Chains A and B, each alone.
Chain A
Amino acid sequence: MATIKIPPVLRASVGGEKEVSASGENVGEVLRDLASSHPATQSQLFSAEGELNRYVNVYLNDEDVRVLDGLETAVGAADVLVILPAMAGGSIA
């Protein structure tokens, strides 16, 4: 089981957790496992075609999976996936 770090905007979709575990041999499988356990994350992570949404970055440990093998990148049990959507909350207002 890999660990997934959940960003603030997705925490409501996973019951408020900051980290969850999910299983799979590669990044795609782990994220789909997350989406099946927490269906509210499905549309936030994946497009209708099943691709990772362009506004969501996923890191395996500290590396962007897009410069690795994308959703095919192999994931070990000790690995940490970081999901990172853009966050614009500045503070002018």
Chain B
Amino acid sequence: MSPSGAELLRRVKSQIDEVDPSEVAELIDEGVTVVDVREAEEYAAGHLPGAKHVPRSYLETRIEGIVPDRSAHVILYCASGNRSAYGARTLEEDLGYEHVRSMTGGITLWKDRGYEVQVPRTLTAEQRERYSRHMLVPEIGIEGQQRLLDAKVLLLGAGGLGSPTALYLAAAGVGTLGIVDDDVVDLSNLQRQVIHSTDRIGTPKVDSAEESIHAINPDVNVVKYPVRIDASNIVEIIEGYDVIVDGVDNFPTRYLLNDASVRLKIPVVSASILGFDGQLSVFKPYEGPCYRCLFREPPPAELAPSCGANGVLGVLPGTMGLLQATEVVKLIVGIGEPAIGRLLLYDALGATLTEVKVHRDPDCPICSRDPEEIADEELGVFPDYEAFCAAAG
């Protein structure tokens, strides 16, 4: 005879491990993964601090995105401890998770005991619709989207690299996009700088970029800096940003940016392009190497074809810019393995991606020291600062 619902529940609970809310409260502090298996509306009304959300009906298909390691400790909870009991059995028996427990009494008992409940800030109906495809990715979800909405990203340049980066970050819902560019749109830009358009030739790039950003997502706060970045303004401009996207076209500015970003401990997602080749790396101060660890010195001017106009395949900055945008999203949401300590070399003609390791230099003139020891006058110290590009001709 088939068991009744109550009998089945008793049987399931006898097969799984349960854990009391008091123990969960301690384990949360130790960083255990807690998964709320209730429906979206229930989760939105309040959940355990730091709990991930995977509705029971999606548990089998989405849990691996949250907990890839089968031997990790996982605690499931629901409203009263029943749905999570079924969920725990599924994870253990069907998916092979080794250390799954269901919280006794669910969030109801948790609240009765007086433990903290986190109420997520809610998105508007329009935002829920706009970002719905992010919500469906467990690694991003509502929390990740909220982080994106709160984030401030600075783009150095609204050119080839900055164009796709700005468009996609705007689309992804990054709350504030700062754009530094003192140039105006030129016809020769349009082969690759897709944020601009033919009818905006002659318009300042920051204004043109703002128009395109607002066309795709009017909620983005655009902060425009129609200036050339230099030692006198860099700290003031970059301070307060969470991530900087480096698309600068010359060595002096790249070294200046490196030094200032290390001092302010702001991660920089850096890319460069030439012809059919691109490079990308993430420089996260004090967690990985900085640009001076990678290249202590710039090459002599004749080996640095970066000051004048150089040819580039139009789609290449698109490829590299979107790799940058991807790294930015990862840094903001806190997922995946950003390219810290690694340099990716993309060869468009060969369709190959090569990766080399980048180490922190214990003798690095900048990042081997504490940030407060780096003085203003040391930022961007660069041989032949003024003469560099003149020499390159």
Contacts and interface: CB of A to CB of B under 8 A. Distances in A.
A44 B305 CA distance: 14
A71 to B, nearest CB: 17
Nearest to B306: A88
A93 B356 contact: no
A64 B357 CA distance: 7
B359 A91 contact: no
Given A92-B248, A93-B159, A93-B249, A9 B303 contact: yes
A9 B304 CA distance: 8
Interface in B44-67: none
Contacts of B158: 92
B385 interface: no
A42 to B, nearest CB: 13
Contacts of A9: 274, 299, 303-305
A55 B299 contact: yes
Contacts of A5: 354
A92 B296 CA distance: 23
B250 to A, nearest CB: 6
Q: Which label, helix, strand, loop or mixed, suits the secondary structure of the B interface? A: loop
Contacts of A85: 299, 303
Contacts of B183: 92-93
Contact of A44 (B272, B303, B309): B303
Contact of B277 (A7, A54, A86): A7
B356 A84 contact: yes
Interface in B271-285: 271-277, 279
A16 to B, nearest CB: 12
Nearest to B304: A88
A87 B274 contact: yes
Contacts of B343: 84
Contacts of B162: 91-92
A90 B158 CA distance: 11
Contact of B159 (A8, A84, A91): A91
Given A57-B294, A63-B356, A91-B162, 9 more contacts: A57-B356, A85-B303, A88-B248, A88-B254, A89-B249, A89-B273, A90-B159, A90-B247, A91-B192
Interface of A: 5, 7-9, 18, 44, 53-57, 59, 62-64, 67, 82, 84-93
Pairs of residues from A and B, 8 with the lowest C-beta to C-beta distance, nearest first: A91-B160, A88-B306, A90-B249, A91-B159, A92-B157, A89-B274, A86-B295, A55-B299
